[in-house]
């Protein structure tokens, strides 16, 4: 543990539990537990993007959020993304080493490309999205209340004043749910996310709440034939 990083920006000693070394050899308390999908809302994601700051660092953070949210990449896939893997003309991103070492191409919408361009066209010597991460390779954004970055500890994640936080993988959940809302076929969502079977993809759509399901079924088109036509009593 770095002596500098052992203290926060206010000079207070940070809890040992904040460092990965503290947890070595210990199973997490939530191991084996499953939680319902809880994708963030559009306004929550955009608010985090606005907190990313100015300059190349802010552009990289927004680029990372965009490929997680608008392309549905896993966090490691996003961090391994280089400028050479982008094809704006076709609207495609190349994932060279997905889960299980699988290679695939995914799509991304024009809004996503618009927010990815400031990073990809900045002319930095580092052409990987990983440059927006801390020294441990963790994403540099997507958590709650805003806080200042520690000078010697990489970039700290901006935080918002909400009661809950959302993790990078929840942006991938949001991507799947939003595409389902837009009527994209399930097998297309499966290929976009790089899932081996539809059963895994369906778990990502558990973020659709009961009220939405009830409303969708309630407003179905009725049969055009009266149920009582031609009946004799």
pLDDT tens digits for range 121-168: 655 555 566 664 443 444 443 333 333 333 333 333 444 444 456 788
For residue 147, the surrounding DSSP H or E stretch is none
Distinct helix (H) and strand (E) counts, the chain: 8, 3
pLDDT at 120 over 50: yes
> What are 166-224's pLDDT values in tens digits?
788 899 999 999 998 888 999 999 999 999 888 888 888 876 767 777 777 877 777 77
* Residue 145 β-bridge partners: 160
**pLDDT for res 90:** 93
The domains of the chain, with CATH numbers, are 38-209 (1.10.443.10)
pLDDT at 61 over 60: yes
27 φψ region: left (φ > 0), alpha (ψ -120 to 50), beta (else): beta
pTM for the complete prediction?
Answer: 0.66
The sign of the CA dihedral 128, 61, 119, 174 is positive
Q: At what angle do helices 42-50 and 55-69 cross, to 10 degrees?
A: 160
Mean pLDDT of 28-49: 80
Pairwise pLDDT comparison (32 vs 79), residue with the higher score: 79
HSE value, Cβ hemisphere, 13 Å, CA-based, for 95: 27
Token output for 130: 């990983």
Q: At what angle do helices 55-69 and 168-181 cross, to 10 degrees?
A: 50
Show the DSSP H helices in 139-197 as ranges. Answer: 168-181, 186-193
Contact (Cβ atoms closer than 8 angstroms) between residue 95 and residue 194: yes
What's the burial of 159, exposed, middle or buried (CB within 10 Å: 0-12/13-18/19+)?
middle
Mean pLDDT of 53-68: 89
Query: Phi and psi (nearest 5°) for 154?
Result: 80, -165
**pLDDT for res 146:** 33
What is the residue-averaged pLDDT of the chain? Answer: 76
């Amino acid at each position: 543990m770095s002596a500098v990083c052992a203290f926060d920006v206010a000079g207070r000693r940070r809890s040992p539990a904040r460092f990965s070394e503290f947890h070595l050899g210990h199973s997490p308390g939530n191991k084996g537990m499953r939680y319902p999908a809880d994708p963030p809302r559009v306004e929550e994601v955009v608010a985090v993007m606005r907190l990313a700051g100015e300059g190349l660092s802010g552009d990289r953070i927004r680029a990372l959020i965009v490929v997680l949210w608008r392309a549905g990449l896993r966090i490691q896939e996003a961090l391994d993304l280089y400028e050479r893997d982008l094809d704006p003309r076709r609207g495609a991103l190349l994932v060279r080493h997905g889960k299980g070492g699988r290679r695939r191409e995914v799509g991304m919408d024009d809004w996503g490309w618009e927010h990815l361009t400031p990073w990809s066209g900045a002319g930095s010597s580092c052409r990987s999205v990983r440059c927006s991460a801390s020294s441990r390779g963790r994403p540099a954004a997507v958590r709650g209340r805003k806080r200042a970055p520690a000078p010697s500890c990489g970039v700290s994640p901006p935080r918002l004043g909400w009661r809950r936080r959302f993790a990078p993988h929840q942006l991938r959940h949001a991507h799947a749910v939003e595409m389902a809302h837009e009527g994209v076929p399930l097998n297309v969502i499966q290929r976009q996310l790089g899932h081996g079977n539809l059963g895994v993809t369906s778990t990502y759509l558990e973020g659709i709440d009961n009220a939405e399901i009830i409303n969708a079924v309630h407003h179905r088109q009725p049969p055009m034939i009266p149920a009582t036509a031609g009946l004799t009593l």
